[in-house]
């Protein structure tokens, strides 16, 4: 951003020097210098405010991430506790729910594959064509 202000000041100074002569250039020098200082100060202020905004956004992101992590952990703990209670209730001899029975009925048993199917195939060696000997 500083380069843009510098370039604008240099172009303005050169235009004044060319069109109004060397005397006008000498008179315009303090004004040009003051304008450049103002631009540099404004750029610095913009950088400071930008850094403050970036810091605020980073803080908000960190806070939101911490809250999401805490909520996710709490939900996972609640689910684990519910699962443990359900498992304990099932171990105490209470009847299983209809959904659990249906799930168990749909479960397939593992089938052992025969060795002919599980073993990798061996490739037969390629036969090379016979070479003719013409003499």
Rg of the chain over all Cα atoms, to the nearest angstrom = 41
Q: Where are the domains of the chain?
A: 2-90
Tens digit of each residue's pLDDT, the chain (135 residues): 567 777 877 887 777 677 777 777 677 788 888 988 999 999 999 999 999 999 999 999 999 999 999 999 999 999 999 988 888 877 665 555 666 666 666 665 655 555 555 555 566 666 666 666 664
The HSE-up count of residue 49 (CA atoms within 13 Å, CB side) is 6
Is-above-0.85 flag for pTM? no
The tally of CA atoms less than 13 A away on the side-chain side of residue 8 is: 11
């Amino acid at each position: 951003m500083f380069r843009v202000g510098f370039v604008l000041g240099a172009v303005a100074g050169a235009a004044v020097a060319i069109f109004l002569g060397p005397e006008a250039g000498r008179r315009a020098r303090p004004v040009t210098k003051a304008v450049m200082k103002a631009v540099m100060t404004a750029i610095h202020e913009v950088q400071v405010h930008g850094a403050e905004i970036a810091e605020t956004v980073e803080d908000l992101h960190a806070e939101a991430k911490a809250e999401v992590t805490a909520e996710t952990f709490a939900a996972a703990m609640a689910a684990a506790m519910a699962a443990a209670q359900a498992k304990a209730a099932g171990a105490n001899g209470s009847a299983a729910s209809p959904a659990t029975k249906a799930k168990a009925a749909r479960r397939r048993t593992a089938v052992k594959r025969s060795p002919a199917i599980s073993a990798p195939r061996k490739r037969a060696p390629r036969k090379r064509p016979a070479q003719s000997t013409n003499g």
